Amino acid sequence: MKKFLSSIALLGTFVIAAPIFAQTPPPAPAGPPQPPASYYPAPPPLQAPSTQQGMPTTGLGSPLPAGQSKVERTDIVSEAEAQLFADARKIVWGRYAKIKGAKAGEVAVTRQGNLWVVKGRIDSVAPGTEGDWAAVDGVVERISAGVVQVKGEVAFRIAKVENGTPCKVAGTLNFRRAGKSNVWRLAEGDNPCDGMREGFDLVMEKPAEKKPVPAQPKRG
């Protein structure tokens, strides 16, 4: 009897559930894929957003502290060193100095008011090095015992290095002299292109003193 009642209850469940499944519509067939949107992720706006007008660019000052970008006065700590450096006349270039036929270049140390200026050049004339040169151009920041600091640049032009493009060291350059030497050598003298030590020297040479010619006695 219990099995009979269970069968009737199960049959009733299927009868009630059948209309529910019958009412569910079948899924629609998949259509062709939709083309992607022409703009991703969204089309551009019709008008660009407005911006607030900034300050004018006229009359702007340098962000560097005053006096840092330009040397206006040479600081002379050692008068004795300054007197020696004032007689720097020649440039010797160590790269070619030992080649037969090498000659020194010329450098001028001049004073423009309270500012000292250094400018010079050496053109190599040794066989096989014609066309190579080195030059210095700058202002003297400070002169102390054994050290002359120059703000500027030293350039080296070597035909076989960087296809002859001048290689430069620039900024605050230190020329150092030792003891009783008459030579100030550039401490930052390594060529930035090939790493060779150039040996760039400024050489003191006092001008020859002209001795007065004794007066000739008058003949009677």
Tens-digit pLDDT profile for residues 33-64: 665 555 555 666 677 666 555 555 555 554 44
Q: What is the pLDDT of residue 184?
A: 98
Average pLDDT over residues 177-183: 95
Q: Is residue 110 situated within a structural domain?
A: yes
| SS3 assignment, position 159 | coil
Q: Is residue 46 situated within a structural domain?
A: no
Tens-digit pLDDT profile for residues 57-113: 555 554 445 445 588 999 999 999 999 999 999 999 999 999 988 999 999 999 999
Q: Is residue 18 situated within a structural domain?
A: no
Q: Is residue 35 situated within a structural domain?
A: no
| SS3 assignment, position 212 | coil
Q: What's phi and psi for 137, nearest 5 deg?
A: -155, 120
Q: Is residue 7 situated within a structural domain?
A: no
Largest CA distance in the chain: 180
Q: What is the pLDDT of residue 46?
A: 73
Whether the link from the prior residue into 63 is cis, omega within 30° of 0, is no
The pairing of strands 75-76 and 133-144 is parallel
Q: What is the pLDDT of residue 38?
A: 54
Tens-digit pLDDT profile for residues 158-170: 999 999 999 999 9
pLDDT > 50? residue 177: yes
Indicate the residue type of 108: A
Tens-digit pLDDT profile for residues 98-123: 998 899 999 999 999 999 999 999 99
pLDDT > 60? residue 206: yes
Block residue for tokens 């035909």:
159
Boundaries of domain holding 140:
75-204
Q: Is residue 136 situated within a structural domain?
A: yes
Q: Is residue 36 situated within a structural domain?
A: no
Tens-digit pLDDT profile for residues 130-156: 999 999 999 999 999 999 999 999 999
pLDDT higher at 20 or 151: 151
Q: What is the pLDDT of residue 209?
A: 66
Domain count, the chain: 1
Q: What is the pLDDT of residue 23?
A: 52
Q: Is residue 139 situated within a structural domain?
A: yes
Instruction: Indicate the pTM of the whole model.
Output: 0.64
pLDDT interval class at 18 (50, 70, 90): very low
Instruction: Tell me what percent of the residues of the chain surpass a pLDDT of 70.
Output: 64
The answer to whether 164 and 149 are in contact (CB under 8 A) is: no
- Mean per-residue pLDDT over the chain, rounded: 80
